[in-house]
Amino acid sequence: MGKLLTFLRPAAYFCWFAFLLGVPGRNAAQNTLFDIIYCLNGGENKSAGIPKLTIPNPASKPGWNLIFSDEFQTGPLDKTRWNTSNPWDDGDGTCHRRFAMNPSNTSADTGYARVTNSGDSSLSTCPYSSGEIKSMSIRDTSFGSYFFYAPGYFETRVKLFTRTGQGAACWLWGYGTAGNPGIPGPWNEIDIFELNGVNNNIFNGTYHWTWNNVHVSQTYDAYLTDSTQFYDLGSEWTTFGLQWDTIAIRWFVNNTLIKELSMDVIPPFCVNAAHYTKPLAPFCIRFSTGPNTVGNQSGVPDPADFPQSMLVDYVRVYKKSGTKAAPIILQDSVYQVCASANSPGTSSKIIRTRYYPGAVYTWSSPAYDFTKITAPPPQPPEKMILWVKPGTTAGFTYPICLKTVFPGNYTEYDTAYIYLATDVPEVPPDNFSAAQIDSSCYFSIITPAGPGISHCDYSLDLGVTWADGIPVRKGGTEVFSFGRFKPGQPVSFAFREHNACGSAARNSSLIMPPPPAGCKWPAGIDERGSSRSGEDAHMISISPNPVTDLMEIRYSPGFHPPEGTMHLRIFDVCARMILEKTLPAEGMILDLPMLHPGMHCLVISGDKGPCYKSTFIKR
């Protein structure tokens, strides 16, 4: 610390500290001297003493279920588990830092995989070539891409190298969103290790994320020691581990915790983001000795140093016990099917789960059948059309069961219940009434929920814009509730009910009751609608639905947040508020362990009232 700050005069200390204390919109508790040092030094430096591990860790890990592993015991690389990069797979075929990807620079011997830098030229513009193995491919149509999700644990045992101008790296790379893996999405990446190409005991780890549509990152350098000596990454087999969830990212070396990055604190001031985006992205695995490593920036390679290889003893990925690695997912999140979807050609209902190579999936249902569809890469392949078996009686709910057996015989089960609708719903009855909202002087409109209805919406502008109604239970009966209206106010509206076959609408009107005794509702404030506009209602999305543990709230690029603070509230079917949070301007990831299974309502509000409402199911 003293060496870093010797060039600053005391007045400079004060100016830097005062400047950081005065940064608007930041938590003053985070404005510390260590933030200043972090920013001046370009990242965090950590010194860590770690033991040597002469034997691999056992595959079993208490509290975690093994869902993927490759021990590299059978010779050649398993082409269902690993894709080998070329210069065009997710690049433009040009030379990056004097290296180009070469698929021939990857191989597997009995016991380990090898990823190599060589002095061979695989492109005319590049003097050297590198290698990479990864669990997804953008352009290789023969490869089934696969991804991993929080809360997870990644572990690998490697032997590395350090040469000037060369490097080796391993990272989890996010591609897409939790609801739509394998499509472009916000930047999300966790670098497990990157070598600096000079020192044999130093590596860095970095978290990359997107804030306000801008890529930002936070890094640290780890200086490894063994007793009183430097730890030698080039001669020792080293075990790197990474645990990630919505609470924190934790880096481990030889089972020793090296760095913990809390997702709930405010990033340092030189990191241009007010919050962390929690790592919910679908992550693929990448091992590379090529252009994505910091080592290639540290100097010019010496041709006499080639070849250099990173050896990978094993790769293992775990899912936290109590969370599902392979849940049943309906693409549209509507757990209904229309009776007319009685063949693969007449159905558009897409059902899927998370694909992992080596896992065995068994789908079954007394009422529904499945036809596998081919998804373009890099979307995962475990996706199919759901259709109704002949002779199935409509008007009932039927189960779908999924059994997944992972390598190592860990077995997981999931069940989804899907209603089979006969036809489009009948026109809703004109059975609307007003209900006072809690103890306030405002009213909402309620109506009994029709049989087999998946959801409803309403319009206050003759059908130009629509907002979602809320399912609630009153006196043991399920009803839909919508709007927020002043006492004595006449309201004209359109109301629709939806099922899997379509929708039916009715126009109606209702006069709100007079103000209750002692009512003092704010004069001059018109809160008739539950959505500022139909445009905004469609620019906010939640996924997945149903949700098992983590839910993502996303805004479309054109969304304009309401003025003032945005709040998120979740209600149960009895209209009791279960959760309330302030909502960041870039959306957020919700961890929902406190919710009981069943239907819930999510409301996002600004200072002038609700701007988004939606229902979801908690499993």
pLDDT band of 573, cuts 50, 70, 90: low
Q: What angle do CA 611, 615, 619 make, to 5 degrees?
A: 140
Write down the pLDDT at residue 490: 93
Rounded to an integer, the average pLDDT of 170-178 is: 92
Taking a C-beta distance cutoff of 8 angstroms, is the pair 282, 148 a contact?
A: yes
Rounded to an integer, the average pLDDT of 127-149 is: 93
pLDDT, tens digit (0-9, with 9 covering 90-100), for 238-256: 999 999 999 999 999 999 9
Write down the pLDDT at residue 293: 67
The pLDDT of residue 524 is above 60: no
The pLDDT of residue 538 is above 50: no
The pLDDT of residue 521 is above 90: no
Q: What is the 3-state secondary structure (H, E, C) of 225-254?
A: EECCEECCCCCCCEEEEEEECCCEEEEEEC
Write down the pLDDT at residue 581: 83
The DSSP bridge partners found for residue 43 are: none
Write down the pLDDT at residue 352: 93
**Burial 174-184, CB ≥16 within 10 A → b, else e:** bbbbbbebbee
The pLDDT of residue 381 is above 90: no
Write down the pLDDT at residue 259: 96
pLDDT, tens digit (0-9, with 9 covering 90-100), for 91-103: 777 787 788 999 9
- Tell me the pLDDT of the chain averaged across its residues: 85
More reliable by pLDDT, 540 or 487:
487
pLDDT, tens digit (0-9, with 9 covering 90-100), for 42-91: 788 889 999 999 999 999 999 999 999 999 998 899 999 999 988 888 77
Other C-beta atoms within 10 Å of 193: how many? 24
Write down the pLDDT at residue 262: 93
- Residues in the chain, overall count: 619
Rounded to an integer, the average pLDDT of 115-132 is: 90
Rounded to an integer, the average pLDDT of 21-32 is: 43
Rounded to an integer, the average pLDDT of 288-307 is: 80
pLDDT, tens digit (0-9, with 9 covering 90-100), for 183-197: 888 899 999 999 877
Write down the pLDDT at residue 282: 95
The pLDDT of residue 377 is above 90: no
Write down the pLDDT at residue 557: 56
Taking a C-beta distance cutoff of 8 angstroms, is the pair 98, 301 a contact?
A: yes
The pLDDT of residue 583 is above 90: no
Q: Give 518: exposed, middle or buried? Use CB within 10 Å, 0-12, 13-18, 19+.
A: exposed
* Helix %, strand %, coil % of the chain (to 5): 5, 45, 50
Write down the pLDDT at residue 601: 82
Token output for 593: 């362990």
Alpha-carbon torsion, ordered 14, 15, 20, 21, to 10 deg: 60
Could you give the domains of the chain? 42-320 (2.60.120.200), 329-421 (2.60.40), 429-530 (2.60.40.2450), 533-619 (2.60.40.1930)
Q: Considering the entire predicted model, what is its pTM?
A: 0.81
Q: Which value, in Å, is the radius of gyration of the alpha carbons in the chain?
A: 28
Per DSSP, the three-state class of 364 is: strand
Write down the pLDDT at residue 577: 78
Give the residue among 38, 468, 370 at the shortest CA–CA distance from 221: 38
Taking a C-beta distance cutoff of 8 angstroms, is the pair 571, 600 a contact?
A: yes
